[in-house]
Structure 1
Amino acid sequence: MLYDVLIDPFVQMFALPDFFLQVLWEGFVSGVLYALIALGFVLIYKSSRIFNFAQGIMVVFSALTLVGLHSMGVPAIAAVPLTLLVMYLLAMSIERVVLRPLVNQPDIILFMATIGITLFLIGFGQLVFGGDNKVMITEQLGIPTGAFELEPFGGFVLIEQKDLTAVTLAILLVVGLLVFLNKTKMGRAIRALGDDHQAALSVGISLSTIWVLVWFIAGVIALVTGVVWGARAGVSFALEVIAYKALPVLMLGGLESVSGAIVGGIAIGILEKIFEIYWGQPFLGGNTETWFPFIFALLVLLFRPQGLFGERIIERI
């Protein structure tokens, strides 16, 4: 029995390389999307030290807005910029109504405020769009729905085109974000605010402008995530649960590391899929993907409390 649990899964990986490659691809796609969600958390935390509990519902709200606008007769090509406008107005409203009055308040107060934003968006979203499951406008957005075969390393992998599109969009978004953060004036201001909050403010960086910007960028990330997840699983408020997978990603990568969010997301996606297929289904009854990422992240934190990419804090007395 011990051999079956510990050794047999590894034997199967090498005995069926085609199937193993397919598992790796499926895990990689999920991991890329987890990394996208985690990036929204990281950006907001770096600029404002706020853990944005509302990032998950922002994914749902942006996707529902896109689908809702199209159902009202707005063409898909126009629904996307209109949805981005809605997310910008949402960012401005959050900064003006919620964050600005709470400047210099304890972190727990700001965290509770994001929970309030979550509950408001759930109620407002259900009022405007209803609570039923909706179909993402995949074809109208030009996202292909077919599949094709690849034979990497002599193996065989079936690639769904919508998954390939999701990965491509995620890579382009991450590259664009890194260029923005490192090469533009506003991007450097965001990084400066994250590195030294008080010093950045003392040289004239506008806190309100940065907050609106990072919440809007988080909204853009939420929209891309909502589109690609909606294409895979439909659009409903249950989609918010997927955002919780960003938590172990953040535990691994650290709350302030963009690269940590990317690497941590991909690692979680691949490892949870491998564990589910080779250990979860044969020995544990399946459904291990709901809890494995959290257990794995906790084990890592036992040895590295700041995460894989977080900075080690050394206090000297």
Structure 2
Amino acid sequence: MTELLAPRRMVELEVDGRPVRVFEGDTLLDACAKVGIDTPTLCYGETLRPANVCRVCVVEIAEGRVLAPACSRKAEDGMQVRTDSDRVRLSRKLVLELLASSVDLSTTPVASEYLARYDAEPTRFGPPAPPSQDRDRARAGRHAVPDGRTAATVHQPVKVDNELYVRDYSKCILCYKCVDACGEQHQNTFAIHVAGRGFDARISTELDTPLPESACVYCGNCIQVCPTGALMFRSEHELREAGDWREDDQTVTETTCPYCGVGCSLELHVQDNRIVKVTSPPDHDVTLGNLCVKGRFGFDHVF
């Protein structure tokens, strides 16, 4: 006999003065979306549990002591939420400035829009992180910071150690999305995690082994969730390096993976009549954006 679930209760709150009703358990980000407010996010992923690390989505709650991350704070009855107050704008601006002054955001799709929206000036905190080609010519993998510590994620060469994807950790904002996708939330491979502390914190394989010698199964689900391009298809990386990556000219065709009977949905990104990368829609009820190595990278046979 099927057990009937109790109906979910609704909660009522105000967002920027507008009343909104959402289901109990929904977040403030859900409430903002329901009234059409575009809340900036970087570390948030629809298929992953919120990590609360980028702090770009913070909002102000009436009588609240601190700003709250909209991606994880649950909506409550009677809440009065402000998403564009001076306090919120200043916080978001500062976070974006600190990120852009220390990390290469050139391949982060939303970065330029967010920086312009909040009048962010990353140069206040020093010169921007150099682009990839300059880093590749750098003689060291780390650079000194004023107090003598080192920042391992900036000014390091792009890691090209396999035929499928590259790792450019100077673009990494430590959002943990790749770690979560590789870990218990999706793949359960646990090939990567955060190593080091403070300025030395970085994404690394176990014992910092080369990727081909690690536990990585090359599913590419970490690439799917990476918001900055720190993890990228090698085909895309090579086209970008050659100055021939033309996303506006690409077509995207949705199809079903032919390798097995699971029914994973594929999005084939085609440029100049050639498949340059494969993604999967995050809202697909079978894959949730995840694929195996065959579905993600096994497209060279297509002509």
Common topology (TM > 0.5) = no
* TM-score of the superposed pair, with normalisation by structure 2: 0.27
Higher helix share: 1
Higher strand share: 2
RCO higher in 1 or 2 (8 Å CA, sep ≥ 6)? Answer: 1
* TM-score of the superposed pair, with normalisation by structure 1: 0.26
